[in-house]
Amino acid sequence: MSWQEPKTDWTADDRFDAPHYNRIKNNLLFLHEMAEALYHPFEIGDMGADKDYSSFYYADEINMLSDNLEQIHSNIYPVTIGEKTVYVQNQAFIGYEDLNRIESAALRIYTLLKEQKENKPRLSFRLGNRKHLGGRMDLAIG
C-alpha cells in the first residue's frame, strides 16, 4: 500500500466517485500503518473493499472515513483536522467542504508522520570496534 496525493481543492462542481473514495480509504489505511509504526498499535474501523463505478456510497461508510481519521488523530501528536460531520441515510451527501477537510487533514497527518519518521532520533554505535588508548580499551560509540 502506498500514499496517494490527496485532492485538497474540491469545489461544488466536482463529482465524488470510486477513485476518490478508494484514495481516501487507502490513505487512511496507510496513515494507520505509519502511526502504529511510530507510536503504538491501535484499532480503526473496517472500511471494506475498494469501490468501483457501480458501487453505492452509504452514510455509515462516509462516517467510518471520518471516524478513522479521528481515531488516527487521537493516537498521534495532535494536528488540526477540523470539525467532523456526521451523515445520516437519506439526508445530504458529503459535500466539497468536508472532502477538503478530510483530505487536507490526512495530508497534514501524513506530513507530520513522515517528518517524525525521518527525524526519529537514532543512537549510532558499533559493537566490537575497540580502540587501544594508553593501555585502556574503549568501546567506540558514534
Most confident range, picked from 4-13, 76-85, 111-120, 122-131: 4-13
In the prediction, which pLDDT does 142 show?
A: 44
Residues in the chain: 142
**Residues 88-142: tens digit of each pLDDT:** 999 999 999 999 999 999 999 999 999 999 988 776 666 665 555 555 555 455 4
- Is 80 a residue whose pLDDT tops 90? yes
Q: How far is 11 from 48, CA to CA, in rounded Å?
A: 27
C-alpha torsion angle, residues 94, 96, 102, 103 (rounded to 10): 130
Nearest to 105 by CA among 61, 56, 67, 59: 67
H or E stretch at 30: helix 18-38
Mean residue pLDDT of the chain comes to: 89
Q: What is the pLDDT of residues 26-64, one digit of tens each?
A: 999 999 999 999 999 999 999 999 999 999 999 999 999
For residue 67, pLDDT beyond 60: yes
